[in-house]
């Protein structure tokens, strides 16, 4: 009996060794250095909203105030009470749901098309950064990914294959309700699947199908009050912009890890499996449905974001993402086991190489800014005791780690945020501490205005080091020789400036006379200016005022033909005037990647002083400085260019 069971197990492994290998690899990639995977911003936000004494308080203060349905928040509330808040403990259920999603993607691909399709889809999901990363985040994405595939599998058995087994009839409404409790986009995806099912279901089962849908609705009904409250909140316009026509092409490149070689391999697999192999009966209707489903979710999200409120992000498409893969690869003919093995080995090896070496996932994802910024600041202070430390970060999320005893935050560290802390506040702070602080440490997330960094570098121009992370960096700078030379300087290379009049330069300054509004400016095509999209440009102008009430502007704009695509200005009223000599320094900065100039025709940068009061004004210096900045700022979602 034991030998028979061993043989049966051995035969099972031989028959399914490729998918078993894919699932093991999926688990390894998601669990690599498990105890070092940090929390993200969203995870910390969710955990901070579990600190309540009752379930009712959790719903009112932890769920209704958020834009997500209740499932994950309620799960975290009880999970952390039972097992604590260690990162690996909180993330483990989501990691496992990500691996479970790989398995159900395989089952759907195999059932709706053939084994080759199932293996290809599972291998891509197992090894691509998109699903790997979200599997390591304790938020509604990987759980909804699993619930959606769980629902789609049982739904497909009923709708496409007339398989009315009890397990499918039970899991249909449960999985559909879980999708709705999990995330509004997993609810949308499941809802569309349910609606399409009305058209696809065989007539002899239609009323029972509608009863299953009604059961799912009844299971979700306790959430109606929460849904109503969250819909009244609107979208994410406070921080999320509306998508443009480039969103979908970017998404396609993103899910294929921005690798042209990888995309080439996918095309080879698609062509090979389409023209070679064994033609087996497939559900062409199901494969076509997969494409319709993905694009329906995408276009609903897109037009809702355009017409109502922004909601479309790469994260919310993860629930429909497997169906795009099934649509792309589902037309394959079934290959032999050897050919399947060759394709899968080539695919996972190349995908893993891109994930690890090109996307640098285990470098960029495994350093959380909220913890790392303080560790860097502590390191800077250890080697440079007379350091003024400024932390631009979410203070509650940062102090989460000090409460756990994982780091020490000295009382002298100054946490700042905007709009409470302004450029004028920074001017005053630097003036106050300049004599006592030999160095300054700026530990900041990418949401900090770039001009803050430029202001600091006027006082502390020597960059000692900079450490870069996703969405954050730490800068240690000191007094002394500037680390970066100006790209253009009005008094050293005036030929770089348009509108320059040599006759107006005398007594160490460039003079605006009374009633004169415009003077010299710097202009350059962005294609000639930008070396790396992650870099930035600082413009620093020192002015001497003739009247303390005048308020000239330093303008920085990017223009495409007759359209202004980026405009920013810095006024005297935003900065501190030196009352001893009536001088003031104005600063403007631009992060090239944020300007989105590549989407426009012939973009040109222009910067100039606008003497809008038309009173006498002296330019004491006018410098344009090109600075290398953090190439990892958007590394989770954009190509990394170093």
- Which H/E stretch holds residue 563? strand 563-571
Check if the beta carbon of residue 476 is closer than 8 Å to that of residue 464.
Answer: yes
Distances (CA, A) of 292 to 287, 320, 327, 541, 562: 9, 10, 9, 55, 40
Torsion of CA 181, 185, 190, 196, to 10 degrees: 150
Residues 104-153: pLDDT tens digits?
Answer: 999 999 999 999 999 999 999 999 999 999 999 999 999 999 999 999 99
Structure tokens that stand for 403 in this block: 């409460």
Q: CB within 8 A of 366, min separation 6: which ones? A: 33, 36, 37, 38
CA distance 139 to 315: 10
Q: CB within 8 A of 190, min separation 6: which ones? A: 147, 148, 151, 175, 176, 179, 180
**How many Cβ atoms from other residues are within 10 Å of residue 163's Cβ?**
14
Mean local confidence (pLDDT), 22-35:
97
From the centroid of its chain, how far is CA 489?
36
Closest C-alpha among 552, 585, 588 to residue 568: 588
DSSP 137: S
Check if the beta carbon of residue 463 is closer than 8 Å to that of residue 364.
Answer: no
Cα angle, residue 537 at apex, residues 536 and 541 outer, rounded to 5°: 150
Residues 172-183: pLDDT tens digits?
Answer: 999 999 999 999
pLDDT of residue 125: 98
Query: Percent of the chain at pLDDT above 90?
Result: 83
DSSP 349: H
Cis peptide before 577 (omega within 30 of 0): no
Higher-pLDDT residue of 245 and 256 is 256
pLDDT at position 282 over 80: no
CA distance 365 to 370: 13
| 13-26 core/surface letters (b: 16 or more CB in 10 A; e: else) | eeeeebbebbbebb
pLDDT of residue 390: 96
**How many Cβ atoms from other residues are within 10 Å of residue 514's Cβ?**
9
pLDDT of residue 137: 97
CA distance 21 to 76: 31
Structure tokens that stand for 264 in this block: 């080439």
Q: CB within 8 A of 574, min separation 6: which ones? A: 422, 423, 424, 586
pLDDT at position 203 over 80: yes
CA distance 404 to 295: 44
pLDDT band at 235 (very low <50, low <70, confident <90, very high): low
At 237, is the secondary structure helix, strand, or coil?
A: coil
Distances (CA, A) of 381 to 35, 71, 373, 427: 27, 43, 12, 22
Quickly tell me which residue has 């891109």 as its tokens: 354
Q: CB within 8 A of 240, min separation 6: which ones? A: 310, 311, 313
Structure tokens that stand for 303 in this block: 């037009």
Higher-pLDDT residue of 19 and 229 is 19
CA distance 290 to 280: 19
pLDDT of residue 474: 97
SS3 for 576-617 is CCECCCCEEEEEEEEEHHHHCHHHCCCEEEEEEEECCCCCCE
Q: CB within 8 A of 449, min separation 6: which ones? A: 418, 423, 589
Structure tokens that stand for 169 in this block: 């009839």
CA distance 127 to 22: 9
Cβ-in-10-Å burial (0-12, 13-18, 19+) of 426 comes to: buried
pLDDT at position 13 over 80: no
pLDDT of residue 7: 64
pLDDT at position 419 over 90: no
Closest C-alpha among 509, 513, 578 to residue 548: 578
Check if the beta carbon of residue 257 is closer than 8 Å to that of residue 354.
Answer: yes
Check if the beta carbon of residue 23 is closer than 8 Å to that of residue 102.
Answer: yes
* Helices assigned H by DSSP within 221-259: 224-231, 247-255
Check if the beta carbon of residue 642 is closer than 8 Å to that of residue 358.
Answer: no
pLDDT band at 368 (very low <50, low <70, confident <90, very high): confident
Check if the beta carbon of residue 192 is closer than 8 Å to that of residue 202.
Answer: no
Check if the beta carbon of residue 476 is closer than 8 Å to that of residue 465.
Answer: yes
pLDDT of residue 153: 98
3-state helix, strand, coil in the chain (%, to 5): 55, 15, 30
What residues form DSSP beta bridges with 31? Answer: none
CA distance 189 to 175: 12
CA distance 567 to 482: 28
Cα angle, residue 628 at apex, residues 370 and 419 outer, rounded to 5°: 45
pLDDT at position 2 over 70: no
Instruction: Let me know how long the chain is.
Output: 642
pLDDT of residue 603: 95
Mean local confidence (pLDDT), 233-253:
80
**How many Cβ atoms from other residues are within 10 Å of residue 507's Cβ?**
7
Structure tokens that stand for 253 in this block: 């490149």
Check if the beta carbon of residue 348 is closer than 8 Å to that of residue 126.
Answer: yes
CA distance 138 to 93: 8
From the centroid of its chain, how far is CA 629?
18
pLDDT of residue 597: 87
> What angle, rounded to 10 degrees, do the helices at 71-83 and 87-112 form?
130
Mean local confidence (pLDDT), 603-619:
96
Residues 296-327: pLDDT tens digits?
Answer: 999 999 999 999 889 999 999 999 999 999 99
pLDDT at position 280 over 80: no
């Amino acid at each position: 009996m034991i030998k028979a069971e061993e043989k049966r197990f051995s035969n099972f492994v031989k028959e399914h060794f490729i998918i078993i290998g894919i699932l093991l690899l999926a688990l390894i990639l998601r669990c690599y250095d498990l105890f070092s995977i940090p929390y993200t911003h969203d995870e910390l936000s969710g955990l901070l909203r579990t600190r309540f004494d009752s379930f009712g308080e959790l719903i009112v203060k932890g769920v209704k105030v958020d834009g997500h349905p209740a499932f994950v928040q309620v799960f975290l509330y009880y999970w952390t009470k039972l097992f604590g808040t260690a990162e690996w403990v909180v993330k483990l259920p989501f990691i496992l749901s990500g691996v479970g999603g790989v398995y159900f993607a395989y089952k759907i691909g195999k059932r709706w098309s053939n084994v080759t399709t199932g293996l290809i889809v599972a291998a891509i999901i197992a090894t691509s950064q998109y699903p790997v990363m979200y599997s390591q985040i304790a938020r509604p994405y990987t759980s909804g990914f699993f619930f959606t595939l769980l629902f789609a599998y049982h739904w497909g058995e009923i709708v496409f294959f007339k398989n009315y087994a009890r397990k499918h009839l039970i899991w249909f409404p449960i999985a559909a309700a879980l999708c709705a409790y999990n995330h509004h986009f997993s609810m949308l995806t499941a809802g569309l699947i349910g609606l399409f099912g009305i058209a696809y279901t065989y007539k002899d089962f239609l009323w029972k199908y509608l009863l299953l849908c009604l059961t799912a609705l009844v299971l979700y009904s306790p959430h109606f009050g929460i849904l109503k409250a969250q819909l009244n909140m609107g979208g994410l316009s406070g921080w999320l912009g509306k998508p443009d026509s480039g969103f979908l092409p970017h998404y396609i490149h993103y899910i294929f890890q921005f690798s042209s070689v990888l995309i080439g391999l996918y095309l080879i697999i698609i062509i090979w499996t389409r023209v070679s192999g064994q033609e087996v009966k497939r559900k062409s209707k199901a494969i076509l449905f997969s494409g319709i489903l993905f694009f329906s979710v995408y276009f609903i999200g897109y037009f809702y974001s355009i017409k109502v409120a922004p909601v479309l992000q790469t994260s919310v498409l993860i629930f429909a993402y497997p169906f795009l893969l099934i649509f792309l690869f589902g037309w394959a003919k079934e290959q032999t086991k050897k050919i399947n093995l060759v394709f899968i080995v080539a695919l996972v090896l190349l995908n893993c190489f891109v994930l690890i070496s090109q996307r640098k996932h285990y470098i960029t994802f495994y350093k959380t800014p909220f913890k790392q910024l303080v560790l860097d600041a502590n390191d800077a202070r250890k080697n440079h005791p007379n350091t003024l430390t400024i932390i631009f970060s979410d203070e509650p999320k940062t102090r989460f780690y000090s409460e756990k005893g994982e780091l020490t935050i000295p009382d002298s560290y100054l946490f700042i945020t905007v709009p409470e802390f302004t450029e004028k506040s920074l001017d005053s702070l630097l003036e106050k501490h300049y004599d006592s602080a030999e160095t300054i440490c700026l530990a900041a997330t990418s949401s900090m205005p770039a001009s803050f960094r430029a202001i600091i570098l006027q006082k502390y121009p020597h960059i000692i080091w900079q450490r870069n992370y996703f969405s954050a960096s730490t800068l240690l700078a000191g007094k002394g020789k500037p680390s970066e030379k100006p790209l253009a300087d009005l008094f050293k290379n005036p030929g770089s400036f348009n509108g320059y009049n040599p006759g107006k330069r005398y007594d160490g300054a460039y003079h605006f006379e009374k009633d004169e509004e415009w003077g010299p400016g710097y202009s350059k095509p962005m294609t000639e200016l930008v070396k790396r999209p992650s870099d930035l440009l600082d413009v620093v102008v020192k002015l001497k005022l003739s009247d303390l009430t005048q308020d000239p502007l330093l303008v920085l704009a990017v223009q495409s033909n007759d359209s202004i695509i980026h405009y920013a200005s810095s006024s005297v009223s935003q900065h501190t005037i030196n009352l001893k000599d009536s001088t003031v320094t104005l600063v403007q900065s631009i992060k090239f990647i944020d300007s989105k100039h590549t989407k426009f025709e012939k973009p040109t940068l222009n910067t100039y002083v606008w003497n809008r009061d038309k009173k006498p004004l002296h330019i004491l210096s006018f410098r344009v400085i090109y600075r290398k900045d953090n190439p990892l700022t958007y590394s989770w979602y954009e190509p990394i260019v170093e």
